[in-house]
Every structure is written in C-alpha cells, then in structure tokens.
Amino acid sequence: MGIAIPATAQSPDPYAEAVEARRAANPARAASILEQVLKADPANSDALVQYGYSLLALRRLDDAEAAFRQALAVAPNYQDARDGLELVTQRRKAAPAPAATRFKLDLDGGLTSVSQGQPDWRDASVQLRYDQNSAVVLTGRVELARRFRRTDVYGEARVDFRQGNDLSGYLLTGGTPDADFRPKVQLGMGGSAKIGGTSNPTIATLDARWADYASGEVWTLNPGVQQYLGGGRVWLTAQWINIFQGSDHSSGWLARADYLPTPKLRLFGGVANAPDISEGVVLRTSSQFGGLALGITDNQDVRLSVAHDDPDGSAKRTSISIGTGIRF
C-alpha cells in the first residue's frame, strides 16, 4: 500500500506502550514500564489492572493478586480486576513460570491487486526485535518486494530508546543492493513527547526520512499528534505528511484510530490523502485502510490488514497482508 500501515501501532505514552507490549506477548516489558507508571500514579486503576495481567502472564501469581486487589480498592466495580483475581485462582494449579522473553520474530506477507491489467505486487518481510531493557529496543528487518517483474530486497536496522516516562525516540538506517524501486540508502529519525494529560495523554510525534532512490533524493517530514481516550484503550492519530523532492514540496494528511476492545485484541482503521512515494516517484494518493491484531497465546499474535490506494494518474491498488509474531 502507498501509505504505510505500521505492523504495530505507535505507543509513545508509557501506559499505552505497556498495553501494546502485553498485547504483543511481552509481559516482562509491560510490567517494567507499568512499574514506572505506578511510581508516578499509584492509584491508577487501569495501570494496576494491566500490571496484574502482566504479572499473571509471568506466573508471579502473588504479585498479580496484590495488583488486582489494589485496583479494586481504588475502583471496587472494576470487572477486569475481578476477572483477574479469578484467573489467579485458576493459574495457581498451572505449570511453573516460563522464562522471560526478550526476542520477538515477526513474519509478514502481502498481495496487492493492481488495476489496468498490471501484474500483482507481492511483499514479504522478516523482523527480529530485541528488548535490551525497558528503555532500549534493537530491531533488524528485511523486506522483499516484487513490482513489475522486478524484485528488490531492502534491509534496515533500528534502535528505539526512552528517556523517562514522557520522551522517546528512534534512529534507523537501511538500504537496497542494486535497487530498482526501493531506496538505495535511507536514514531516519523521530520521536515523541507527552504534552498533556495523565490517564488520557496527548502526545506530539515527529518522523523524518532521507532516501536516495534511482530517480533521485527524497525527504519526508511528518509531524503528528496522538490523543488517548478511555484510559488508553482508544487512541487517535493525525499526521501532516510532507515530501520534498528537489524544489518540489507536496503535503497531505493521515488520520487513524486504534481500539482495544479486549486486552489481546486491537482494531485499527484510517484514511489518508497525501503524497506517497511509489517506485521513487511522488504521487498524490487517496487511501483507506484497516485491520486487526490478536494475541492468541502469551507468546504469539497474528495480524490482518487490508488497504485501498488510489494514486492520481496511476493504477489503483487493493492489498491484503497477514502476519504473525512469536516471542522467545
């Protein structure tokens, strides 16, 4: 698809990042982040419940029970906390605690139908993530893309880091050997900062890229804002997308909503009307996209997304992608 759909929703707020980490089968990271959240706000019932479920996944049953009971002391009618206590009772008879996991392997594949009789596009990717600690994450990624009977293989390395509870950032570098349509070289950086709110924070974001394509250099600069609602169960994202190629500047927008109806299920959808880089050429593109991510066990999740892109003066595209993530 033209406008990129992140495999994992960006979660710069510590509570939302912890929820996302637990949904992605990384309870150790979730618990570590939530401990910092609770230091700042010990009566945060949502954080206490999420902390309890994270500890439950780590088989720290006594600590999980304490967290759920503390949440009920703050919010006596909190059903998720009551459900957590029931699970603690059930798990006391279960197997010994599993070892903490630091690695996550993500496998994704996609197929894009292109109009005007053009051949379908095919995509596949492999990503390995290592959580060094609650503040530093290292990621390596390889993407294979098939376009117009040509194949490019793009590789990328990325480091994410957090400073306290309110600031995060990342750096990345990547490239494609003998590139036809993917960037020959790409550099990127970005970050986020909490600018308001506690249980429902407002986050300012910024993403910047420089890429060298066969057709020339392209710069992108995308400031944005995220607003969390419902104690972190819902977040809305808006981005102002800017692309610079030579002396030309094109801009547009993207809007997206993410929702956690259950602790293990995330739904998302969005629309965009913005310039997009396709095969190194900048085209204004109207896009609609949506999908879901589901944790099927404590250590595995699955993903599904669909998208439709309508670039000006070019073939329309409809894509579907599936993927899975495994922690170990």
DSSP code per residue over 127-185: EEEEE-SSSEEEEEEEEEEEETTEEEEEEEEEEEEEETTTEEEEEEEEE-TT-SSS-SE
Chain-centre distance for alpha carbon 105: 14
Question: Per-residue pLDDT for 93 more than 80?
Answer: no
Query: What is the band of 111 on the pLDDT scale with cuts at 50, 70, 90?
Result: very high
Please compute the mean of the pLDDT values over residues 9-31 and round it to a whole number: 77
pLDDT above 70 covers a percentage of the chain that reads 93
Neighbours of 186 (CB within 10 A): 19
For residues 223-235, average pLDDT = 87
Say which residue, 24 or 153, is predicted with more confidence. Answer: 153
Asked whether residue 100 carries a pLDDT value surpassing 70, the answer given is no
pTM across the whole model: 0.73
List strand residue ranges (DSSP E) for 164-299, in order: 167-175, 185-196, 202-213, 216-229, 234-245, 248-262, 265-278, 281-297
Residue 80 near residue 49 (C-beta atoms within 8 A)? yes
Contact present, 120 and 107 (Cβ < 8 Å): no
For the cut 80, the answer to whether the pLDDT of residue 200 exceeds it is no
Mean pLDDT score, 16-42: 85
Q: Does residue 3 have a pLDDT over 70?
A: no
Band of residue 9 on the pLDDT scale cut at 50, 70, 90: very low
pLDDT at 12 (0 to 100): 54
User: Residue 299's pLDDT band (boundaries 50, 70, 90)?
Assistant: confident
272-295 pLDDT, tens per residue? 999 988 766 788 999 999 999 998
Vertex 157, ends 122 and 194: CA angle to 5°? 105
pLDDT of residue 279: 67
CA distance 27 to 297: 12
List, as own/partner pairs, every contact residues 71-80 make where C-beta atoms lie below 8 angstroms and the sequence separation is at least 24, other chains included.
71/45, 74/43, 74/45, 74/48, 75/45, 78/45, 78/49, 80/49, 80/263
Mean pLDDT of 181-209: 91
Q: What is the mean pLDDT of residues 120-125?
A: 97
Rounded to whole angstroms, the Cα distance separating 17 from 53 reads 15
Percent of the chain at pLDDT > 90 equals 51
Q: What is the band of 18 on the pLDDT scale with cuts at 50, 70, 90?
A: confident
User: Running DSSP on this structure, what letter comes out for residue 9?
Assistant: -
Chain centre to alpha carbon of residue 325: 12
Q: How confident is the model at residue 8 (pLDDT cuts 50, 70, 90)?
A: very low
Closest CA to 108 of 293, 258, 266: 293
Name the residue with tokens 């409809």: 318
Total residues found in the chain within this entry: 328
pLDDT of res. 257 = 97
Query: Contact at 8 Å (CB) between 21 and 30?
Result: yes
Task: Specify the DSSP element, H or E, that contains 65.
Answer: helix 61-74
More confident residue, 4 or 200: 200
The answer to whether the CB of 59 falls within 8 A of the CB of 98 is yes
**Of residues 147, 109, 111, 138, the one with CA closest to residue 125:** 109
**Average of per-residue pLDDT values in the chain:** 88
